[in-house]
């Protein structure tokens, strides 16, 4: 049996955002999004945990070199989102909602190909918005 194994790298970024629909009244926004609807933004320290699947190389013992994986995450995600405003500074949520769920899906799409070019297979994204609120995304798959 091939020895499939999962290698995981944790990175961090800080960003501002708000959850607010311009086609809704202030009342409706506050009813649905609560304090997250605040016009003047709020922000978070996001933890991003990226899982890559593969068989360890005979030559190096690595599924993917973690230095390489860390560089990919920094280039593709942290340079885009770190110390930024998710609604204003990036194109992904101009016409959509910067929920943690949607942010995780965008991050998957940014990471999938660059990781594949290095011989790994992106298997899972975990995005931690606060100490108590997290999202996990498996590229649309349903492992459970």
Catalytic residue among 42, 83, 88, 136: 83
3-state secondary structure at position 51: strand
For 19-64, strand residue ranges (E) read 42-54
* Residue 63 and residue 7 in contact, taking contact as beta carbons nearer than 8 Å: yes
| Least spacing, CB of residue 49 vs a second copy, in Å | 8
Q: Which is nearer to a second copy, 23 or 117 (CB)?
A: 23
Site string for a second copy, 80-119 (x = CB under 8 A): --xxxx--xx------xxxxxxx-xx--------------
Q: Which DSSP string do the residues of 76-128 spell out, in sequence order?
A: IIIHHHTTEETTTTSGGGTTS---HHHHHHHHHHHHHHHHHHTT-EEEEEEEE
> Which residue in 25, 91, 95, 131 binds a second copy (CB under 8 A)?
131
β-sheet bridge partners, residue 126: 49, 136
Distance set, CA 65 to CA 5, 26, 71 (Å): 13, 48, 10
Candidates 22, 25, 27, 35: give the one binding a second copy (CB under 8 A): 35
131 assigned to active site: no
- Least separation, in Å, of the C-beta of 55 and a second copy? 9
Q: Is 142 a catalytic residue?
A: no
Tokens (6 digits) for 143: 């492992």
Report the catalytic residues: 36, 83, 129
User: Which residues of this protein are in contact with a second copy, per CB under 8 A?
Assistant: 1-12, 14-17, 19, 32-36, 38, 40-45, 51, 53, 56, 60-63, 65-67, 82-85, 88-89, 96-102, 104-105, 123-124, 130-138, 140-144
């Amino acid at each position: 049996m091939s020895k499939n194994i999962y290698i995981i790298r944790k990175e961090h970024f800080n960003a501002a955002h708000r959850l607010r629909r311009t086609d809704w009244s202030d009342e409706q926004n506050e009813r649905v999004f609560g304090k997250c609807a605040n016009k003047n933004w709020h922000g978070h320290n996001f933890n991003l945990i990226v899982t890559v699947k593969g068989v360890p190389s005979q030559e190096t013992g690595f599924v993917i070199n973690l230095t390489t994986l860390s560089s990919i995450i920094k280039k593709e995600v942290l340079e885009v989102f770190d110390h930024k405003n998710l609604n204003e500074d990036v194109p992904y949520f101009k016409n959509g909602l910067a929920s943690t769920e949607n942010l995780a899906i965008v991050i998957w799409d940014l990471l999938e190909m660059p990781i594949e070019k290095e011989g790994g297979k992106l298997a899972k994204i975990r995005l931690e918005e606060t100490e108590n609120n997290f999202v996990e995304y498996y590229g649309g798959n349903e492992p459970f």
